[in-house]
Structure 1
Amino acid sequence: MPKNIMDKATIGTLADRAAGLDAAGGNARLKEIVRRLTFDLMVAIDDLDISMDEFWTGVTYIAAAGRSNELGLIVPGIAVEHYLDLRLDEAERLAGLAGTTQRTIEGPLYVAGAPLSTGEARLDDGCDDGEVLFVQGRVTGTDGRPVAGAIVDVWHANTMGNYSHFDPTQPAFNLRRRIETRADGTYGFRTIMPSGYGCPPGSQSRLLMESLGRHAERPAHIHFFVTAPGYRKLTTQINIEGDTYLDTDFAFGTRDGLVPPVRRIDDAGEIHARGLNKPFAVIDFDFSIAAQAEGVAGTEVSRPRAAA
């Protein structure tokens, strides 16, 4: 079938009706969104000469991804979640907000309700014989002043690339904690060095990546929410330097400012002082968060999340 055989005005009229623009009532914002997306989809079908077989293959794929709860992987995998971050970055820049820690994707593996500690915490249950890692730093405002009582909500995978709650072999909230900063804004935690992970073998998300000629792997990383009264919520993560997939993260989560140095410590005195019997790693990472501001898109995102 030839391309561009439909008149744009005809497509527009059909999209108007599909969105209920000729009907009273309904949600005006939803009508606006459905009209635009329906119109753009119909135009894309015409421009690309998408066949009925191709269209229904796509519908079947989306349905299968929904049944397997993989849309939370596919959205970052096609760069849309990263795009939303870039768009919010630009909105903040235009509003004059600067000096904050870079944001990056949340991903689909957060679990609400992790235990709360003050100042510091141990995240791992001691059963994974991975490299011991200490992460420490400070939370400040963009003015450099410490933010006491901020909550650093942290979660990451184990050495097999698996997350507690989604991996039934791990205890509840393993490698997940909330840490309240001290009066000087500092926080710290002991954990194990995480591994990256990939989309599950045979999954819809991996099928899409491989069909695009891409891999479906993430580098090792540690997720954070940082919140405090009167401040904008920060959603971010740090990536572990040297990871094979650092520069090709399938989820577009790596950002240059979020790859801190890893210090390996093999000095016997420092090992003993930490109560260990083997070398360990240290990452220093400070967070800078912005005060609440009027007229800027919010950073508290309403989306489905797991809860224990």
Structure 2
Amino acid sequence: MSVKIFDKPEVQDFLTKVAGLDKPDGNPRVKQIVHRLLSDIYKAIDDLDITPDEYWTGIAWLNEIGAAGQAGLISPGLGIDHFLDERLDAIDEALGIKNETPRTIEGPLYVAGAPIAHGFARLDDGTDTNGHTLIMHGTVYGDDGKPLPDATVEVWHCDTRGFYSHFDPTGKQAPFNMRRTIVTDDKGCYKFQSIVPKGYGVPPGSPTEQALSALGRHGQRPAHIHLFISGDGHRKLTTQINIAGDPLVNDDFAYATRDGLVPEIVEHTDEVSIKANSLSGPFAEIKFDIHLTALVDGVDNQINELRKRAAA
């Protein structure tokens, strides 16, 4: 037997009280959001006949997610980060802004304060002996289509085991390994040497994996490289590229893959190319140009300064 009580006046009055809408104090925006979210939850309980056991199972899972520090991991896994990007794209379209370089999700593993280099940086420290040398380079362009000197390109990625420095459970990596901030040269160019990263998955047995398994989904990501790009008079761009050829490029549990963010990877074995890059052996090359967009009425209308990010 299905019983529905959501639309009863006393339930609607109760929601108003719970959200504090009947009180003058508090934050009006918080009240508005809480009232809507609680209304959706109450209605879902009613419509889906969610039992107390199912509800408290969910509460236990939320506790586990919090204890594991994985809220920032399950968020992209549930497509919320991607949905936020889609909304930003729609807002830009309404404003007549074209993003030649697409935005995509940040992920939870950025660390502020990476060492600064000018024009060129070596990201890895050479300790990952399973790594295949990578040279990645490109030009940052301003909204006028011209190269943008002194732009900043923040870059970070994982090692061949799928671990990021500062979050490596083995403690093997030194601080800021495979993390740098590169200031573009007078031609707007950036370049770095590192290793080709590997794809990775959510921690086995974690509450994130449990949720994805219950949805019949995997928790794997293709190999990728994260980027923040900023320049005077321009909006900060949050994006990442996937490594072409990875079997999960179009099956990313975090839904970060977007057209225009899968540049080709070119292998070089010839001596001329090797010597031109001051290397001792074969390497992979990725060329990725970046186009920034202008501020909107003098303001970056998409930057999120309030997000809590790790700092060394």
TM-score (norm 2): 0.95
292-301 vs 273-282, greater mean Cα deviation: 292-301
Q: How does 1:12-51 map to 2 (within 5 A)?
A: 12-51=12-51
Match of 2:74 in 1: 74
2:287 alignment partner AA:
D
- Cα distance in 2 between the residues matched to 1:119 and 1:176: 15
- The 2-side partners of 1:296 and 1:106 are apart by 17
Give the Å deviation of 1:273: 3.0
Identity %: 49
* 1:51-70 equivalences in 2 (<5 Å): 51-70=51-70
The residue number in structure 2 matching 1:169 is: 172
SS at match of 1:161: coil
Could you tell me how far apart the structure 2 residues matched to 1:228 and 1:59 are? 43
- Using the alignment, how far apart are the partners of 1:114 and 1:8 within structure 2? 55
**Which residue identity lines up with residue 311 of structure 2 in the other structure?**
A
Deviations 1:227-255 (A, max 9, x none): 11211010000000111211110000111
- How do 1:111-126 residues align onto structure 2 when only pairs under 5 Å count? 111-126=111-126
Query: Which residue matches 1:109?
Result: 109
Change (3 A) 1:188 1:60: same
Aligned equivalent of 2:128: 128
Query: Any idea what the Cα deviations from partners look like across 1:132-167, whole Å, max 9, x if unmatched?
Result: 000000111232111111100000001111100111
User: 2:182·2:190 contact (CA, 8 Å) conserved in 1?
Assistant: yes
Q: Which of the residues 179, 200, 205 maps onto 2:208?
A: 205
Aligned residue pairs: how many? 308
Is residue 246 from structure 1 mapped to residue 249 from structure 2 by the alignment? yes
CA contact (8 A) 1:11 1:43 kept: no
- Which position in structure 2 is the counterpart of 1:218? 221
Question: Which of 280, 286, 311 is 1:307 aligned to?
Answer: 311
Q: Secondary structure at the match of 2:201?
A: coil
CA RMSD in angstroms, aligned pairs only: 1.4
TM-score by length of 1: 0.97
For the structure 1 residues 143 and 51, does the alpha-carbon distance in structure 2 shift closer, same or farther, using more than 3 Å as the test?
same
Aligned equivalents of 1:52, 1:94: Cα separation in 2:
44
Give the whole-Å Cα distance in 2 for the aligned partners of 1:32 and 1:236.
31
Identify if the C-alpha distance between structure 1 residues 172 and 10 changes in structure 2 by more than 3 Å, giving closer, same or farther.
same
- Tell me, which stretches of 5 or more residues in structure 1 are unaligned? none
Displacement after TM superposition at 1:183 (Å): 1.5
Contact 1:194 1:221 (C-alpha < 8 Å) held by counterparts? yes
* 1:5 Cα deviation from its structure 2 partner: 4.2
4+ runs deviating over 4 angstroms:
none
- Residues in 2 aligned to 1:240 and 1:34: alpha-carbon distance in whole angstroms: 40
Evaluate the alpha carbon distance shift between residue 123 and residue 8 of structure 1 in structure 2; reply closer, same or farther with a 3 A threshold: farther
Runs of 5+ unmatched residues, structure 2? none
For 2:145, the aligned partner's letter is G
The answer to whether the 8 Å contact 2:241/2:262 transfers is yes
CA distance in 2 between counterparts of 1:163 and 1:3 reads 50
SS of 1:59 mapped into structure 2? helix
Q: What SS class does the counterpart of residue 121 from structure 2 fall into?
A: strand
